[in-house]
């Protein structure tokens, strides 16, 4: 559909309220009409028809999207922020974001962080207040302070993506869907003679913060009639049928005191005549749209409202049906033709377009130069593999390690045991372990409406789920989706501060009904967060760093040509659901000693006292003395610190007894295995995007080689 490309282009151009230049420029260009104008408040407009026409019709949609604005930079470089428009705080914890920093060449990738659940007095029941959340750019304060200014804009990371059928998910569909309808309408009318009628297409600004753009632009336009196009509520769980319309059900025609009744009726009659599906959308008071502004411009403007049904409004998980957008465009075009007795020409039937290649895996940075440092880490983090579904990760790892292993075994549960030859036989049989699986979700049930219910695989804070972009299924047969939620506008008092229980959440894949969903999804299917991966000078920000960073370190060690002792490398399955891979792998490998290479929670974020931070980014690899499953070998932990010192790299204690990892199973294997854990400090561990330090990673690589040599070489 033509409208697909238009809407993707419009959504991809970011523009929060007061900052809409990019989408306005795109919209004006896409109309194909000459002489577009931009006014003092940034409104874009372009006119079709004779200047001396007897009737001037204004068609309006707003270009701003909800987002955030940086208010200050705190002492460690985290950003405080406020809402810009009515963004929903329930989608913010763990949300990857783009910061449009004044002094940076590119938008900066960040993540909305908060205190980890086990360190948070309120647990996971409450959504943190906006003022208690901060944005983490993974940069030191000195760097942040030269790049970011108060007033800089922030939006969630999103990529417009097609769901099933003609449904599309993206942030900013409110109201780029309306703008796309205007663009399509302009395209339809371009070759039509419009005697006596002039049409102005207005792409307005600042709707989400009060409608100042439409108010001033309507003054300038001085039109007799106006049709505003916005989004309205589509049916979804928790939304009453009387205030919503089904997605794909056609256009909603507004009726409200401020709206012109005759225009509304005319639009309904034309919809009927043209077989365009529609529904009346009746409001008792104001419309909450730009109609309220446009209708009272100058001496008054006869105004109608058309709305496109949309799910999960004001979140990064907004969903519309492109057919509704197209229907809205056609209804406006028919209305214009009717005003001047013209006939809307039939558009040639569109050939079914070739499936467009459009990444469904979200924002993977293409800054390849910056990724040379970490070798295989970007690919490992982008591979998908929740516990029990590690196949793709395993294949990737095998492709990296085959040349360096003397022998490779795949255990019955799917773990990899790779035997690397050293210069000598080990005096102590050593196993190095990292786990391949990541936390994620698993589809449990398909509802009658075609929504997917799910359970968590591994420990997931339910507060990080609403609004996230996800991928369902395996290999090349994946289905894109978003985790939807009831729009903030329809929440009851108190509901906005409460986190949404996992049981009430669902994945929206744009299915019309259960049958359409069941054709592509089966209960038991894997669900992962869409990938975000980026490196800057200091840090790596990515999905699945737990424990693909550990896997990358093991691969790096295997690739070393100068290796002292024969060693077993284990890439384990199912760590996150009970250490099953490492338990059975240790039985098979029969090590006498083990080094577990992990990623562990760093809570060095605003709002956590130093004694509760566990460990800190940039202070070196983390050595545990004890966690919830293991008391570590005292001598080996001592050696870890000694070897770090000898190598001149930093090393830190894990200052707390929390969490657990594969050591829990390995140290109790057979007759017992002396075990030590070397971890990377990672912020936002089981969230869609974590942050690790590059220096820590490099230091861990150095330390691990020395520690492995010392352990394997000792009796």
Catalytic residue among 575, 576, 598, 643, which? Answer: 575
Instruction: Scan residues 11-50 and list those touching Zn ion (CB under 5 A).
Output: none
Q: 373 with 534: CB under 8 angstroms?
A: no
Q: 442 with 524: CB under 8 angstroms?
A: yes
Smallest gap, in angstroms, from Cβ of residue 563 to Zn ion?
Answer: 25
| Residue 575 bears catalytic tag | yes
Instruction: Scan residues 652-711 and list those touching Zn ion (CB under 5 A).
Output: none
Give the nearer residue to Zn ion in terms of CB position, either 576 or 604: 576
- Whether the upstream peptide bond of residue 547 has omega within 30° of 0, thus cis, is yes
Calpha distance 638→289 (Å, rounded): 66
Calpha distance 202→220 (Å, rounded): 11
Calpha distance 138→109 (Å, rounded): 9
Q: 499 with 463: CB under 8 angstroms?
A: yes
Tokens of 32: 């194909």
Give the nearer residue to Zn ion in terms of CB position, either 289 or 433: 433
Give the nearer residue to Zn ion in terms of CB position, either 192 or 577: 577
Q: Please report whether residue 437 would count as binding Zn ion according to CB under 5 A.
A: no
Give the nearer residue to Zn ion in terms of CB position, either 525 or 546: 546
How many other CB atoms are there within 10 angstroms of residue 316's CB atom?
28
Give the nearer residue to Zn ion in terms of CB position, either 204 or 387: 387
Give the nearer residue to Zn ion in terms of CB position, either 19 or 598: 598
Give the nearer residue to Zn ion in terms of CB position, either 597 or 712: 597
Compute, in degrees rounded to 10, the torsion defined by CA atoms 354, 357, 358, 359.
Answer: 150
Smallest gap, in angstroms, from Cβ of residue 439 to Zn ion?
Answer: 9
Calpha distance 459→617 (Å, rounded): 22
Instruction: Scan residues 489-548 and list those touching Zn ion (CB under 5 A).
Output: 546-547
Total of residues contacting Zn ion (CB under 5 A): 2
H/E run at residue 155: strand 153-156
Smallest gap, in angstroms, from Cβ of residue 405 to Zn ion?
Answer: 23
Calpha distance 229→305 (Å, rounded): 6
Which residues make beta-bridge pairs with 416? Answer: 410, 571
Smallest gap, in angstroms, from Cβ of residue 278 to Zn ion?
Answer: 52
Smallest gap, in angstroms, from Cβ of residue 540 to Zn ion?
Answer: 16
CB-based burial label for 407 (10 Å; 0-12, 13-18, 19+): exposed
H/E run at residue 428: none
Question: Half-sphere exposure of residue 227, counting CA atoms within 13 Å on the CB side?
Answer: 29
Smallest gap, in angstroms, from Cβ of residue 571 to Zn ion?
Answer: 12
Site string for Zn ion, 537-576 (x = CB under 5 A): ---------xx-----------------------------
Locate all alpha helices (DSSP H) within 519-633, ordered by sequence.
545-558, 580-589
Calpha distance 308→327 (Å, rounded): 9
Smallest gap, in angstroms, from Cβ of residue 667 to Zn ion?
Answer: 16
Site string for Zn ion, 369-408 (x = CB under 5 A): ----------------------------------------
Query: What residue ranges in 247-294 does DSSP mark as E strands?
Result: 251-255, 278-282
Spatial CA neighbour of 244 closest among 253, 236, 252, 235: 235
Q: What is the contact surface with Zn ion in residues (CB under 5 A)?
A: 546-547
Active site residues: 575
């Amino acid at each position: 559909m033509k409208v697909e490309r238009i809407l993707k282009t419009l959504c991809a151009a970011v523009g929060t309220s007061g900052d809409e230049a990019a989408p306005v420029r795109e919209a004006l260009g896409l109309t194909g009409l000459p002489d577009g104008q931009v006014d003092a408040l940034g409104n874009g407009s372009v006119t079709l028809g004779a200047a001396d026409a007897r009737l001037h019709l204004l068609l309006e949609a707003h270009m701003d999207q909800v987002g955030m604005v940086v208010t200050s930079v705190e002492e460690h470089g985290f950003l405080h922020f406020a809402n810009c428009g009515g963004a929903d705080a329930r989608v913010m914890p763990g949300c990857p974001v783009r910061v449009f920093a004044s002094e940076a060449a590119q938008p900066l990738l960040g993540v909305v962080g908060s205190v980890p659940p086990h360190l948070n007095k309120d647990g996971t029941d409450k959504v943190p207040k906006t003022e208690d959340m901060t944005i983490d750019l993974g940069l030191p304060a000195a760097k942040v302070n030269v790049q970011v200014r108060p007033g800089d804009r922030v939006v969630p990371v999103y990529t417009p993506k097609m769901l099933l059928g003609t449904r599309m998910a993206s942030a900013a569909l409110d109201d780029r869907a309306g703008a796309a309808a205007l663009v399509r309408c302009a395209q339809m009318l371009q070759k039509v003679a419009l005697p006596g009628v002039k049409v102005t297409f207005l792409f307005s600004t600042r709707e989400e913060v009060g409608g100042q753009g439409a108010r001033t632009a309507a003054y300038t336009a001085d039109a007799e009639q106006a049709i505003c196009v916005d989004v309205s509520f589509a049916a979804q769980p928790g939304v009453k049928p009387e205030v919503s319309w089904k997605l794909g059900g056609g256009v909603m025609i507004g009726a409200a005191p401020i709206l012109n009744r005759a225009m509304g009726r005319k639009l309904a009659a034309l919809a009927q005549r043209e077989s365009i599906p529609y529904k009346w959308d009746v409001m008792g008071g104001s419309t909450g749209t730009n109609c309220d502004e446009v209708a009272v411009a100058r001496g008054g403007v006869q105004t109608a409202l058309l709305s496109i049904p949309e799910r999960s409004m004001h979140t990064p998980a907004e969903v519309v049906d492109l057919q509704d957008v197209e229907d809205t465009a056609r209804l406006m075009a028919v209305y214009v033709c009717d005003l001047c007795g013209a006939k809307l020409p039939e558009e040639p039937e569109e050939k079914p377009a070739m499936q467009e290649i459009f990444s469904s895996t979200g924002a993977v940075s293409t800054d390849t130069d910056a990724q040379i440092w970490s070798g295989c880490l970007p690919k490992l983090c982008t591979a998908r593999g929740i516990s029990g579904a590690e196949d793709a990760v395993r294949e990737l790892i095998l492709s990296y390690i085959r040349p360096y292993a003397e022998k490779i075994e795949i255990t019955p549960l799917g773990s990899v045991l790779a035997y690397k030859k050293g210069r000598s036989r080990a005096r102590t049989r050593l196993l190095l372990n990292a786990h391949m699986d990541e936390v994620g979700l698993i589809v449990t049930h398909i509802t009658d409406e075609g929504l997917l219910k799910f359970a968590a695989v591994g420990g997931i804070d339910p507060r990080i789920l609403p609004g996230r972009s996800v991928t369902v299924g395996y290999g090349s047969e994946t289905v894109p989706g978003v985790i939807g939620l009831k729009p903030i506008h329809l929440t009851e008092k108190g509901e906005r501060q409460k986190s949404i229980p996992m049981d009430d959440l669902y994945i929206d894949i744009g299915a019309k009904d259960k049958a359409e969903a069941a054709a592509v999804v089966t209960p038991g299917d894997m669900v992962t967060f869409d990938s975000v991966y980026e490196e800057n000078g200091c840090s790596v920000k990515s999905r699945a760093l737990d424990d693909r960073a550990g896997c990358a370190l093991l691969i790096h060690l295997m690739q070393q040509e100068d290796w002292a002792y024969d060693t077993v490398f284990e890439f384990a399955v199912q760590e996150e659901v009970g250490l099953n891979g490492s338990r059975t792998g240790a039985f098979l490998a029969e090590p006498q000693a083990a080094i577990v290479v992990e990623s562990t929670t760093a809570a060095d974020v605003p709002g956590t006292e130093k004694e509760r931070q566990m460990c800190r980014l940039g202070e070196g690899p983390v050595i545990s003395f004890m966690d919830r499953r293991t008391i570590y070998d005292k001598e080996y932990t001592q050696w870890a610190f000694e070897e770090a010192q000898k190598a001149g790299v930093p090393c830190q204690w894990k200052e707390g007894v929390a969490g657990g990892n594969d050591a829990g199973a390995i140290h109790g294997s057979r007759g017992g295995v002396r075990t030590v854990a070397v971890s990377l400090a990672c912020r936002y561990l089981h969230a869609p995007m974590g942050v690790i330090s590059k220096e820590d990673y490099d230091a861990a690589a150095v330390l691990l080689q020395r520690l492995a040599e010392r352990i394997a070489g000792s009796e």
